Chains A and B, each alone.
Chain A
């Protein structure tokens, strides 16, 4: 260990906090969710296009949060956070996609119509 303890408040993880960034993240998240809310409550779209629209808006909100709240970028201090996040995405897609596909085809083949 070093002789003089560095001030923990000088650490890059502390320095990256920004009120303006958090406010931007908050405003973008709330606006996007309000947009989704308006689309669904106003019955503006069919079920299919509505689903595509709200899913797209959710992805945009999450991307805004990864930038403004989680500070995910490829800088020296944050790159492993970012890499971990992006490598988790395929795991989530496989977990969700394969399970839903499996149960969907199980339902289609094994369950009597009208039951369940």
Chain B
């Protein structure tokens, strides 16, 4: 974040290129850029939360949120997604130590926990759909499916990204490119825990109040 704004009247003294400057810091710029991208993803979620907040009473004579959600089950999903985020954090601590084996092992753990979360969610929504509780039934169900499954889709893409990163760590090692992608995946994955706090609170818990 250094700038060389050396103001000088004497144009002969202007330094056009500083050879000693190490060049742009790729890891810093790309993690900041990806973080800003995740904040725009938060805007996407805010839009869907808005739609849900407006529509959640419109059950059009169909099932309401209280009949659709199961708090105990959703708390199980909560623990799984937080545990997966923790496992990815441990992988990042292993990255700090430079241990390939630990990084791969803990990303594997994060993958399995995340896959467990996704399996629970798929089971939850498949059971709803089999009872005829489908998105086109009411405004509430449309926004409910959209909100929860948009998060689920993020989890799916996070899992694909983890599989790619494990392959890259094994084949390329900790190069600058692999390291910044691992850091971006950390931001992406940890962000899913943050979004889940809101889904669990304002969809599942509020639905039972």
A65 to B83, CA, bound (A): 13
* A18 CB within 8 Å of chain B: yes
- Chain A's closest residue to B71 (CB) is A41
* A11 CB within 8 Å of chain B: yes
B22 touches A69 (CB 8 A): no
A66 to B39, CA, bound (A): 13
A17 touches B96 (CB 8 A): yes
A96 touches B205 (CB 8 A): no
Query: Which of A14, A23, A29, A70 is packed against the most chain B CB atoms within 10 Å?
Result: A14
* B151 CB within 8 Å of chain A: no
- Chain B's closest residue to A19 (CB) is B93
Asked if A13 meets B27 with Cβ closer than 8 Å, knowing A40-B209, A70-B190, the reply is: yes
Q: C-beta contact mask, B185-209 vs A, less than 8 Å → 1, else 0? A: 0010010011001101110011011
Query: Which of A13, A91, A92 is packed against the most chain B CB atoms within 10 Å?
Result: A13
Which residues of chain B come closer than 8 Å to A103, judged between CB atoms? 54
A40 to B206, CA, bound (A): 8
Query: Which of A15, A21, A26, A50 is packed against the most chain B CB atoms within 10 Å?
Result: A26
* A85 CB within 8 Å of chain B: yes
Could you say which of A1, A33, A96 contacts B22, with CB atoms under 8 Å apart? Answer: A1
B71 touches A88 (CB 8 A): no
Considering only CB atoms and an 8 Å cut-off, how many residues of chain A contact the other chain?
56
Could you say which of A61, A76, A88 contacts B197, with CB atoms under 8 Å apart? Answer: A61
- Other A-B contacts than A8-B175, A40-B205, 9 sampled, CB-CB below 8 A, are A9-B174, A9-B179, A13-B28, A17-B89, A21-B89, A26-B85, A54-B202, A88-B39, A92-B42
29 pairs, CB–CB < 8 Å, chain A vs chain B? A6-B22, A9-B174, A9-B179, A11-B25, A13-B27, A13-B183, A14-B27, A15-B96, A17-B92, A22-B92, A23-B89, A29-B193, A30-B78, A47-B209, A50-B209, A51-B206, A51-B209, A55-B201, A61-B197, A65-B193, A81-B31, A84-B36, A85-B39, A88-B42, A95-B46, A95-B50, A96-B46, A99-B50, A100-B54
- Residues in A lying within 8 Å of B, measured CB to CB: 1-2, 5-6, 8-9, 11-15, 17-19, 21-23, 25-26, 29-30, 33-34, 36-37, 40-41, 47, 50-51, 54-55, 57-58, 61-62, 65-66, 69-70, 76-77, 80-81, 84-85, 88, 91-92, 95-96, 99-100, 103-104, 116
